[in-house]
Structure 1
Amino acid sequence: MTASVRLASGDTDVAEYVWDPAELPRTVSPRPFLHPVRTLSGVRVTDVMPGDHLHHLGVSIAVPDLAGHNFWGGRTFVRTAGPRPLDNHGVQRHDRWDARTADAVEARLVWHGADGGSLVRERRRIAVLPLPAWGCWALDVAFTLENVTAEPLSFASPAVNGRPGAGYGGFFWRAPSINTGTGTGTGTGTTVASAFGPDRRGVRWLHGRTADWLALCGHGAGRTRWSLLFVPADERTRADPWFVRTGDYAGVGSCLAWERPLVVPAGETLSRRIITVVADGTLGVAEAAELSTAALQISAR
């Protein structure tokens, strides 16, 4: 049975962390994830197992190629053959809690390869940061991945393996789209979203580039509008390029291995931290810039 915990901003439940997704098929690379995530007014800003990408699971940490194991889900891009359905899906399993409160969780996870062996041990912290002066809140996601094998581990992406522009892998947020009423997932509808950064607007200028923050704005049924503001919380995360989609679907990721593999030696770690402001309405550039500063300030307390 699936197990989850709710996280609140004050008295309002704003996110659900599914720490034991027991019923997921192996082909989606089962892993803990956040869904639903909502604005303070209740607008949902995540999607899970949409019809266009069944392996997209709300907000999660996912890697398409970790030493040949698929922790992203779906098909694997093979340099000489393109996308192929392979029996190489890994799974992330919750190990234990370090802390649980109404607005934060700290957990230990183990990443098991397709053969069942342990590749990575993870320390994950998820916290809700209230931003009452702005009428919104922020989701703080930090993770540290430790190589527990005796050999270096290579984190890669389809782009590394020969598919240009597909450098995804790491933190990924699948946003909702408007449902046309067909299929089994909400992702079968038309996506209405826009993306912008401090000085650029549109996927063409943001995808594969770095920026101090990135905003994704959209609307759902009933013209309810929402905004997500992604803010790297440290220099290492800030150096990772963005993966951005607003057309066929809406999603944003921070990429560990955009053009070349990220190799972690045996016994070593990598850490990343992303703060995402979750707001009702549509943000403008000036407001997003001020909010990004406010989110970083409150996260440092």
Structure 2
Amino acid sequence: MTHPLVLRCRGRAVGHYVHRGDLPARLSPRPYLHPVTTLHGTPVTEERPADHLHHLGVSVAVPDVAGRNFWGGRTFVRDQGPTELDNHGEQRHADWKLRDPDGFVEDLVWTSGGTDLLRERRTVAATGLTADAWALDFTFSLTNPGGEVLSIGSPATNGRPGAGYGGFFWRAPKEPAGAAAPDVFTAAAEGEEAVHGRTADWLALRGADWTLVFAGATDDTRRDPWFVRTGEYPGVGSSLAWDRRLPVPAGGTVVRRLVTVVADGRLDRPAAAALVRKALS
């Protein structure tokens, strides 16, 4: 494994980007950020937890790209359920276009079974907001290099209602045994059931001494429903194919941009909203 790229904000290391590793094929190898921390050093990501070994900090993971698995683990098959298949893909680092202490631009290739299905341009930047908060700005552009339409799906589009995950995904750490699970809220709703599968300009996941506030930074991104887990495990994703497949025309490109506020302490709604406005300004 090569040494990870260190992402810094205001002179502090706030993230490590693992762009080449030795993960087994079943985990759908891909570059990812872990650990990510608050400015005061509290970890806010988890890597390969026992409950889901294929959860890798902050990454772009999609369970169905033309039938190939870029999420990891089992594949949901209609009328059959979660099934072990030899269909895992890999996101391979191709080139750096920019590497600075506070961010990078990277080219990747999504490949499976000897076929390059997607080419990606990924742009990541860290920006300071306050003495206790910074923002991770994450943009990914997926281009179909083939001559035919390519289709992106999810377990939901393959017959599992409510499981429309796939796209930007952040696996947060569980709280210690006996502690309350992180809570989740938007400007208008609170709790996993109330926010899961719905759109919102921003969504906050709040632990005992940290808060993450996720916001779509483009119109297309804001139209993507949020995939949210707090009870089983803490994780938030922005869904590319919530209840219908997303076609990518030959030569076409899908672009998404997520900005995540990473804050020390437990933010309330007004504080979360204020930091999102600052991060997007």
Q: Same fold (TM over 0.5)?
A: yes
Give the superposition deviation at 1:17.
0.7
The residue number in structure 2 matching 1:163 is 160
Q: Which runs of 4+ in 1 moved over 3 A?
A: none
The residue number in structure 2 matching 1:232 is 216
Give the superposition deviation at 1:190.
6.9
The residue number in structure 2 matching 1:87 is 86
* Aligned 8 A contact 1:172 1:252 in 2: yes
What's the CA shift string for 1:116-140, capped at 9, x where partnerless? 21010000001001112x5210000
The residue number in structure 2 matching 1:12 is 12
One-letter code of the match for 2:85? L
Give the superposition deviation at 1:292.
1.0
Question: Which of the numbers 206, 214, 233 marks the counterpart of 1:249?
Answer: 233
| Pairing 1:114-153 to 2, within 5 Å after superposition | 115-132=113-130, 135-153=132-150
The residue number in structure 1 matching 2:205 is 216
* Aligned 8 A contact 1:191 1:250 in 2: no
What CA RMSD, in Å, does the superposition of the two structures yield over aligned residues? 1.2
The residue number in structure 1 matching 2:47 is 48
| Pairing 1:64-83 to 2, within 5 Å after superposition | 64-83=63-82
Give the TM-score, by structure 2 length. 0.98
What's the CA shift string for 1:13-70, capped at 9, x where partnerless? 000111112x201000000000000001100000000000000000000000000000
Give the superposition deviation at 1:2.
3.5
Give the superposition deviation at 1:283.
0.6
> CA separation in 2, counterparts of 1:50 and 1:111?
24
The residue number in structure 1 matching 2:111 is 112
* Aligned 8 A contact 2:169 2:237 in 1: yes
Percent of residue pairs identical: 56
One-letter code of the match for 2:239? C
Size of the aligned set, in residue pairs, is 281
| Pairing 1:151-300 to 2, within 5 Å after superposition | 151-178=148-175, 192-219=181-208, 225-297=209-281
Give the TM-score, by structure 1 length. 0.91
SS of match in other structure, 2:194: helix
Give the superposition deviation at 1:217.
0.3
* Aligned 8 A contact 2:155 2:164 in 1: yes
SS of match in other structure, 2:207: strand
Gaps in structure 2 of 5+ consecutive residues: none
Give the superposition deviation at 1:178.
3.1
